[in-house]
Chain A
Amino acid sequence: MTAVRGTGGRRARARGAAAVFACLLAAVPAAAQIFAEQEVLVRGFVSQGYLNTANNNYLVPRSVNGTAEFHETGLIVTAVPRDRLRVGIQLMGRNFGDTGNDQVVLDWAFGDYRWKDELGLRAGKIKMPYGLYNEGRDVDLLRTTVFLPQSVYDERMRDFMLAYEGAAAYGSVTLGGAGDLDYHLFGGTLNVADPSHGFWGESYAEAAREIEPEIARLAEQDLGLEPGSAEATFAFIRDPEVTFPWIYGGSVTWNPPVPGLRLGASAMQGRFNYRGEIIYDIALVDPVAHKAHLSSFSLDIDQTLRVDRIYSVSAEYLTGAWQFVAELGGTKIEGQKDAGYYVQTGYRFGKVVSAAATWSQYWADTEDREGKIYEARGLPAYYAWQHDGTLSLRLDLTSHWLLKIEHHFLNGTAMAEYLGVARELEAPSSRRWGMLAAKTTFHF
């Protein structure tokens, strides 16, 4: 679970994946489109990005130094073996800071039996229906922006918002003169692929560091030391596991008889367990006087948390070259509620250039939007929110190659705070800060 991977191995895997995709791209005719002649469809993409933040670290450790550890590779195969039945699979390799490490994983894979237009059934690993864009969040070529707005599509929560393993009922119901309604109802389980890194790794570390003084007291009793003579330092977590034994929910999208308009809502509920063994290093506060006795101490954790709800409400209007989107979303986990929303306007200038402007607001605790609780703890109030104005530019340089660049003007650090707390990095220190992201994608 916590396999240590050498840099050399990681580079070799990245080179291998790049070579495979180079071969696939070379095999694709220049004029190939998304529409194919064959019944087995093979598509793919490879993306490389760059991320740099000013003043505060965000999304990846030490982002203030800039990082190119930001790439994805995906290969999709879909086939229709018989009438009403469809099967598909996507393999994906990803590296984002210290998560993913280019390990090829099953992104989604399912069988789909479409009994009627109003009712189809899917089983397997299926993309989570949340908001209008969650199912395509890993596919850079589907949007103008580099990142989906973080107030609704929190990158830190990607691992458990991406896909579930289970079954779904879906369909499209005609509402006569009122348009039609698409729905997707699901139930299943979910396993976080690598909880030793990224958001989950940081969460484990944060929880582990909070109880270091208590661990030191326990270690003193174990080792027969005087009270106050030992200190405990979190070292690492062994065999972490984050699983959802069950999760269920659904989404509905109403397409009213107004061309280009769709309105959606989604909601889900579940429970998740996190387990693992936290390892602490134990050291004597005064090693000379006590003839230095070093040890380690382990603590098993096994906890279940209730996800009361994860929800979104969405509106999208496409007209001519314009795109207008507004979405809000939030979670309630063990009674703690966060929430955010964004509005976005996009415009396509001909076939090459697209641009988007996004305004996004997020609050980590809806009961403390102004940061009073943080202030009472002696911390900056701006830890409570994160507001983000983003300008994005996309260039479709050829039919297979695109380039994007965007700048985020940020106020508040609600989503950046955890990196500083858990990582022993410099805690967020600037209320106003910025992020530059660029990405290029080849696709076929």
Chain B
Amino acid sequence: MTGRIWTRTGAIGLAVALWAALAVGVPRGSAQPDRGLRIIAHPGVGVDAVDERFVERVYLGKRSRWPDGTTVVPVMLKSGPVQERFVESYLDRSLSRFVNYWRQAVFTGKGVPPQAFDREAELAAFVAATPGAMGFWSGRTPPSGVKILTIE
């Protein structure tokens, strides 16, 4: 009886240990956050700075309010290198993994993904016109009608 338990425990333990060793041994693929992107918001938003975790939680649908309690409306691009850079640097995951995260949420009824645009200019115009909106901008000159948020 004792031997059987040890055999079973040993087999499961070995499998988990191998799995964990492999997991820990794999080098991290993600790069350092790329600060070439700026986080922009509607000028009426009552905060000037947010932390990176706040941005991540908003774009994963886990945070729906600004710190002052008003609704946050996140927007993004449909695809392209700027979108990819934003997802990798602020959300700490690959674009394909981010797309899969939202697929899972949509196909199980758990959420609606951020609205997306083809071009940054459209995104910035939406942010400027929509109370509570948040987005990102890759250009050096900030678009007019939005506020730049500081990342803490």
**A residues within 8 Å of B by Cβ?**
31, 33-37, 39, 41, 43, 45, 74, 76, 78, 80, 83-84, 86, 88, 90, 108, 110, 112, 114, 116-117, 126-127, 135-136, 139, 141-142, 172, 174, 180, 182, 259-260, 317-322, 324, 326, 341, 343, 345, 348, 351, 359, 361, 369-370
Contacts of B15 in A (CB 8 A): 343, 359
- Contact partner of B57 (CB less than 8 A), chosen from A83, A180, A343, A370, is A180
B56, closest chain A residue (CB): A259
A127 near B102 with CB under 8 A, answer no
B11, closest chain A residue (CB): A361
B103 near A142 with CB under 8 A, answer yes
- Contact partner of B109 (CB less than 8 A), chosen from A45, A83, A108, is A108
Say yes or no for B79: interface residue by CB 8 A criterion: yes
B28 near A319 with CB under 8 A, answer yes
B71 near A321 with CB under 8 A, answer no
B15, closest chain A residue (CB): A343
Contacts of A348 in B (CB 8 A): 96
B64 near A114 with CB under 8 A, answer yes
Return 14 A-B CB contacts under 8 Å, by A number: A33-B116, A35-B113, A35-B115, A37-B116, A41-B113, A108-B108, A136-B107, A259-B30, A319-B30, A320-B27, A320-B29, A320-B94, A322-B23, A324-B23
DSSP class of B's interface residues: helix, strand, loop or mixed?
mixed
Q: Which 3 A-B pairs have the closest CB atoms?
A: A320-B29, A35-B116, A135-B108
Contacts of A343 in B (CB 8 A): 15-16, 18-19
CA distance A312 to B117 in the complex (A): 39
CB proximity to A under 8 Å, residues B50-85? 57, 62-65, 71, 76, 78-79
A33 near B28 with CB under 8 A, answer no
A76 near B62 with CB under 8 A, answer no
B109, closest chain A residue (CB): A88
A370 near B4 with CB under 8 A, answer yes
B26, closest chain A residue (CB): A322
A318 near B62 with CB under 8 A, answer no
B110 near A34 with CB under 8 A, answer no
A78 near B29 with CB under 8 A, answer no
- Contact partner of A33 (CB less than 8 A), chosen from B29, B71, B99, is B99
Q: Which of B99, B108, B112, B114 has the most CB of A within 10 A?
A: B108
CA distance A361 to B12 in the complex (A): 9
Contacts of A74 in B (CB 8 A): 107
Q: Tell me whether A182 and B64 are in contact in the complex, defined as CB-CB below 8 angstroms, given that A34-B103, A43-B106, A142-B107 are known contacts.
A: no
Contacts of A114 in B (CB 8 A): 64
- Contact partner of A117 (CB less than 8 A), chosen from B18, B22, B28, B64, is B64
The proximity string for B residues 15-38 relative to A, scoring 1 for CB distances below 8 Å and 0 otherwise, is 110110011001111100000000
CA distance A267 to B20 in the complex (A): 25
A76 near B8 with CB under 8 A, answer no
B78 near A78 with CB under 8 A, answer no
CB proximity to A under 8 Å, residues B99-138? 99-100, 102-104, 106-117
A33 near B108 with CB under 8 A, answer no
B91, closest chain A residue (CB): A259
B106 near A78 with CB under 8 A, answer yes
A396, closest chain B residue (CB): B96
Contacts of A141 in B (CB 8 A): 103, 107
Given contacts A36-B115, A182-B62, A318-B97, 13 further A-B contacts (CB under 8 A): A33-B78, A35-B76, A35-B102, A37-B115, A37-B117, A41-B106, A110-B109, A135-B104, A135-B108, A136-B108, A321-B94, A322-B29, A324-B19
B126, closest chain A residue (CB): A37
CA distance A41 to B8 in the complex (A): 48
B107 near A139 with CB under 8 A, answer yes
Min CB–CB distance B41 → chain A (angstroms):
18
Q: Tell me whether A317 and B108 are in contact in the complex, defined as CB-CB below 8 angstroms, given that A35-B115, A260-B93 are known contacts.
A: no
